[in-house]
Structure 1
Amino acid sequence: MTVTEDLTRARAEALAQIAALTREFDEVVAASAASNADDEHDPEGATIAFERQQLAALLESAHRRLADVDDALARAAAGDYGRCASCGGPIGAERLAARPQARTCITCAA
């Protein structure tokens, strides 16, 4: 599999995760709209608020991952893929295999 294929697969996975989390977030918001809006006195209120915030954080993380993958695709198209953005050295094959969107080598990432 080529780098572009790996990144395209990672992009599709990120988009699928964003879609699933968005649906789940929308369901939680809809459920909370139909319930008692007084979270302070509603025994389920804190749980609903927690779920909503947890989903929002997961969704933000998925969006960041998508942006990282898109950036890696742009670097691949420009011929800069596999070079550390910090030191300019090569990013190890093992790191790229584990995290194709990596921008830095292991040393710089630490």
Structure 2
Amino acid sequence: MTLSSEADARARLLAERADATARVAALHRELDRILDDTADRDADDEHDIEGASMPFEREQVRATLRQATDHLAEVDAALGRLAAGTYGVCETCGRPVGEQRLAARPSARTCVPCASRRPPSRG
């Protein structure tokens, strides 16, 4: 990886990290709001007119928060690979991940052929 492409990769990753951090913070605020809104309610969600929607909304935000937190961890791992000099190298086969794949998914750990052979997860 050249110095300019390393700088570009770092800039992309840092921008993605800032976006992911902001998303995680927003989801934490949203979850806190939901929990605050339901804290004073009767625990009988089943018979509350809004009861079915509040637990669903709460769990939907929790799931989205987990995904956003996982993505942030992937970006941090990519920054670690960049610092270690292994960014852009497929963790499975050792070949280049590919410029287009890294442009589309800066935190990618594997090349397209290796990613297509395994179950979807961290890419």
Q: TM-score, normalised by structure 1?
A: 0.96
Which residue of 61, 66, 84 corresponds with 2:72?
Answer: 66
Distance 2:50 2:12 in 1: 42
| Amino acid aligned to 2:33 | E
Looking at both structures, which has the greater relative contact order when contacts are Cα pairs under 8 Å and sequence separation is at least 6? 1
Which residue of 91, 96, 99 corresponds with 2:102?
Answer: 96
Distance 1:105 1:42 in 2: 50
Q: Which runs of 4+ in 1 moved over 2 A?
A: none
Q: Which residue of 1 aligns with 2:92?
A: 86
Q: Which moved more, 1:31-40 or 1:72-81?
A: 31-40
Which residue of 6, 13, 17 corresponds with 2:19?
Answer: 13
1:13-52 correspondence to structure 2 within 5 Å: 13-52=19-58
| Amino acid aligned to 1:9 | A
After superposition, what is the alpha-carbon deviation per residue over 1:45-85, rounded to whole angstroms, capped at 9, x for unaligned? Answer: 11000000000000000110011000000000011000000
CA RMSD of aligned residues (A): 0.9
Distance 1:80 1:12 in 2: 22
Counterpart check, 1:108 vs 2:119 = no
Aligned identity (percent) is 52
| Amino acid aligned to 2:65 | L
Distance 1:93 1:100 in 2: 9
Give ranges in structure 1 of 5+ residues lacking alignment. none
After superposition, what is the alpha-carbon deviation per residue over 1:8-58, rounded to whole angstroms, capped at 9, x for unaligned? Answer: 111111100000000000000111112232111112111000000000000
| Amino acid aligned to 2:85 | G
